[in-house]
Structure 1
Amino acid sequence: MQVTITAVGPDNKGLADPIVHYVSGAGANIYEIQMYDRDTEHLFAMLMRIEWPDEMGSVAKLRDHLQQIGNTRNLEVRVWARDEHQRLPRVAICTTYRTEPPLAVLRAIRDGRLKAEAAVMIGNRNACHSVAEQFEVPWLNIADSKGVPDYSKMESLIDEHEIDYVILARYMRVLPADICWKFAGGRIINLHHGLLPPFPGFRPYEDAFQHHMLCYGSTVHFIVPELDAGNQIIHQGSFNVPPGTPLEDIKRQGESDHEPNCLVEGLRRVIDREVELHFHRIVKTNH
């Protein structure tokens, strides 16, 4: 069974050794291993993707062993396997203002186009609360009155609800590096309301309009710490407009129709296991 292991904590020496020795000593095949040291934050982060032998016991037992190692090294260790449970993958939908992307995702789940379960909706604003109520999905606002999120709450909710994939559905905040590493390996999926890589940032419609573009679009990509989205693109879509089209009309078309459809298709590719993230690159799978 393919298993993803992450370990994050204060930087120190010899943090990776006991984890690597345990999984290799148990006969696991290590497909991928990456380690990072953020000097400015004194943060150590490690990602491993392994094939765990069935004869060595359950993923739950592996998780217990590695978390015990983590406790001795002051590391937060997470062990995730898509196939650990015989159920639909559970998703957390993170939102800010726009209701169209989460609404499209929840409709696609309801109609069976996305074979997943919406376990929780998380917001840093209350604009999408009514969408969660409409589909009877638990809703939690994790931010203060200014919209500043408490990421410890987000982390706890992801663990508590046993989330497989975190969906940033026009979530207009940059996730901190430690959150990205704790749920690394292709578990955080972002909808960007512009074409990447030429139009990153928070105002891609405006930036493209200033360049007199006639083609606009959106991008669904995996979140990768410390790297710009490039090889992590899952799906992109575009639409053309006639010369002279006002920016307001372009944004209306993109936000109301194009972005939600792009997000649903990108999620479908991940949930149906057509693509995965290996070594920060999108790969087609054989599932």
Structure 2
Amino acid sequence: MQIVITAVGPDNRGLADPIVHSVTGLGANIAEIQMYDHDQQSVFSMLTRVEVDASHRQELEQAMAEVARTTGLSVRTWSPEITERKPRLAICVTFRHETPLAVLRAIRDGHIKAEACVMIGNREKCRHLAEQFGVPWENIADSSGSPDDGRLIDICDEHDVDYIVLARYMRVLPPSSCWKYAGGRIINLHHGLLPSFPGIRPYQEAFASRMLTYGATSHFIVPELDAGNQIIYQSTFTVPPGMSCEEIIRRGQEDNEPHCLVEGVRRVVDGEVRLHFNRVVAMK
């Protein structure tokens, strides 16, 4: 089976060695290693993807717990090969309700075969959705909307989350959070077509370029910001010449964006795509 190991913590010498030695000692084949040293922050980050006999999974998890104890690293083990239960989702939101509502409906209707185990917000705007669908709600922000990024990760750990879904969550996750849930575990909706319109105002930028086709992009978040090869799904819609920018945005937010995120999450949950060396690969 495939297991993803992530390790994040204060930088020091010899942090990678115990992880590598532990997995190879169990006969695992290392399929991917990524490491990054955040010099200014003195932070060490590492992702290791291994193939190991399923009978050794518990031993591997125990070995990683020992690595965490002896090194002080924050270590997580996770497998995308989820068979004994439905994948567990954390849905992160800010103001807009259309995309999280679409995901919750798709889960309810069986289109997305997963469980929404928690909703996390940096505003109270979408709390009613959590209450409507019986999903635990957590607000991780102060009165200004600034989130506690560490609390977000703690909540996901507490709920044994498999995938974090950023459903128009209007905050950038810090690199340390991205590394902790690296390996294709964070799914984002960008409300424009990547890589052409990567900014925070993609509708307006496309409108200024006199575009007649608009779209949205569902993609994996990776620790190093790069929208080049992590695209899971894109959906578009065409408008007639002369349509106002306001009407284009309305159509995008109410119809196209929800469809795009639902299909992106479905592809990941169904195991149709995975992330390997920061590239999306088809599994079916």
Which TM-score tier does this pair reach, normalised by the shorter chain?
over 0.9
Q: CA deviation at 1:212?
A: 1.3
Q: Deviations over 1:6-32 (max 9, x none)?
A: 000111111000110110111001111
Question: What are the within-5 Å matches in structure 2 for residues 42-121 of structure 1?
Answer: 42-56=42-56, 59-83=57-81, 86-121=84-119
Give the one of 143, 164, 183 matched to 1:166: 164
Question: What are the within-5 Å matches in structure 2 for residues 1-287 of structure 1?
Answer: 1-56=1-56, 59-83=57-81, 86-286=84-284
CA distance in 2, matches of 1:195, 1:225: 20
CA distance in 2, matches of 1:84, 1:67: 21
Q: CA deviation at 1:282?
A: 0.5
Q: Is the 8 A contact 2:26 2:60 kept in 1?
A: no
Q: Deviations over 1:170-200 (max 9, x none)?
A: 0000000000000000000000000001111
Q: Is the 8 A contact 1:67 1:76 kept in 2?
A: no
Moved more, 189-198 or 199-208: 199-208
- Aligned letter for 2:16? A
* Equivalent position SS for 1:7: strand
Structure 2 unaligned regions, length at least 5 = none
Q: Is the 8 A contact 1:193 1:219 kept in 2?
A: yes
Distance 1:130 1:38, change over 3 A: same
Q: CA deviation at 1:84?
A: 5.5
Q: If the length of structure 1 is used for normalisation, what is the TM-score?
A: 0.97
C-alpha RMSD of matched pairs (Å): 1.1
Q: If the length of structure 2 is used for normalisation, what is the TM-score?
A: 0.98
CA distance in 2, matches of 1:55, 1:123: 38
Q: CA deviation at 1:71?
A: 1.8
Q: CA deviation at 1:227?
A: 2.9
Aligned length: 284
Structure 1 unaligned regions, length at least 5 = none
Q: CA deviation at 1:5?
A: 0.2
Percent of pairs identical after alignment? 62
CA distance in 2, matches of 1:61, 1:85: 19
Q: Deviations over 1:47-92 (max 9, x none)?
A: 0111122343xx3432222121122112100000133660000000
CA distance in 2, matches of 1:60, 1:126: 39
Q: Deviations over 1:177-226 (max 9, x none)?
A: 00000000000000000000111121111111111111110000000111
